[in-house]
Amino acid sequence: MISEKMSQALNEQVNREMYSAYLYMSMSAHCNQVGLKGFANWFMVQYHEEMLHAMKIYEYIQRQGNEVKLAAIKAPPTSFESPLDMFNQTLEHEQFITRSINDLMELAIAEKDHASQIFLEWYVTEQVEEEENDNDIIAQLKWIKDNPQGLMMLDRELAARMTTVPTDFSKGVESAATAAGA
Ligand code: FEO
């Protein structure tokens, strides 16, 4: 079991991860609309990653015998100035998520909740990768500036990103990961 306070904090994290999915879904839609299909693909893959992040916590709360309490997901922005603007917003959002994961870890440590500490370690590692991915693309976009040819080349590169996470959670996250070969 986990404390009610930890359960509530984890429920709030489910909502943050679902908002992340919603944000990247919105960015994907915008990219499709302006003809950047590769960028749209990258953000849709990111959407799936965020759904996995949310589902892992959802399942953990239930496995600990606590209650999942879903809350409203706020609306994401729907218009963006440029690909650089989207990735700057993505990095800023991921830094916010990193801080929230750190807060959860602090709570788990304060409560001597070893199970939650072990569970949250995966997210600590994941956030390093999330921020690294964004920083890499921001660096490339800064080189590209207003060069359409460079942007098209990056668009083709981002089109190759594949979903490596399971997307069907009907039998639980673990069995979905096994079925997806993840
Ligand atoms: Fe679930 Fe992108 O952090």
134 C-beta closer than 6 A to ligand 1: no
In a domain, 181, yes or no: no
Query: What's the rounded Cα separation, in Å, for the pair 27 and 74?
Result: 15
In a domain, 84, yes or no: yes
Query: What's the rounded Cα separation, in Å, for the pair 5 and 126?
Result: 24
For 172-178, which contacts have Cβ atoms below 8 Å and span 24 or more sequence positions?
Answer: 172/59, 173/52, 173/55, 173/56, 173/59
- Ligand 1 atom nearest the C-alpha of 46 is 2
Q: Decide which of 172 and 143 is more confident.
A: 143
144: domain CATH number is: 1.20.1260.10
In a domain, 44, yes or no: yes
Domain count across the chain? 1
**Nearest by Cα to 67 from 112, 134, 116, 14:** 14
In a domain, 180, yes or no: no
Three-class DSSP category at 173: helix
- Ligand 1 atom nearest the C-alpha of 17 is 1
Confidence of residue 173 (pLDDT cuts 50, 70, 90): confident
Confidence of residue 12 (pLDDT cuts 50, 70, 90): very high
- Ligand 1 atom nearest the C-alpha of 16 is 1
Confidence of residue 171 (pLDDT cuts 50, 70, 90): confident
**Nearest by Cα to 27 from 72, 96, 90:** 90
**Nearest by Cα to 131 from 88, 172, 161:** 88
Three-class DSSP category at 113: coil
Question: How far is the centre of ligand 1, averaged over its atoms, from the C-alpha of 91 (Å)?
Answer: 10
In a domain, 59, yes or no: yes
Tell me which residue range forms the domain holding 146: 4-175
20-78 pLDDT, tens digit each: 999 999 999 999 999 999 999 999 999 999 999 999 999 999 999 999 999 999 999 99
In a domain, 128, yes or no: yes
Provide the pLDDT for residue 176.
76
Q: How many CB atoms lie within 10 A of CB 162?
A: 6
93 C-beta closer than 6 A to ligand 1: no
Question: How far is the centre of ligand 1, averaged over its atoms, from the C-alpha of 35 (Å)?
Answer: 25
DSSP 40-89: HHHHHHHHHHHHHHHHHHHHHHHHTT------PPPPPP---S-HHHHHHH
82-120 pLDDT, tens digit each: 999 999 999 999 999 999 999 999 999 999 999 999 999
- Ligand 1 atom nearest the C-alpha of 126 is 3
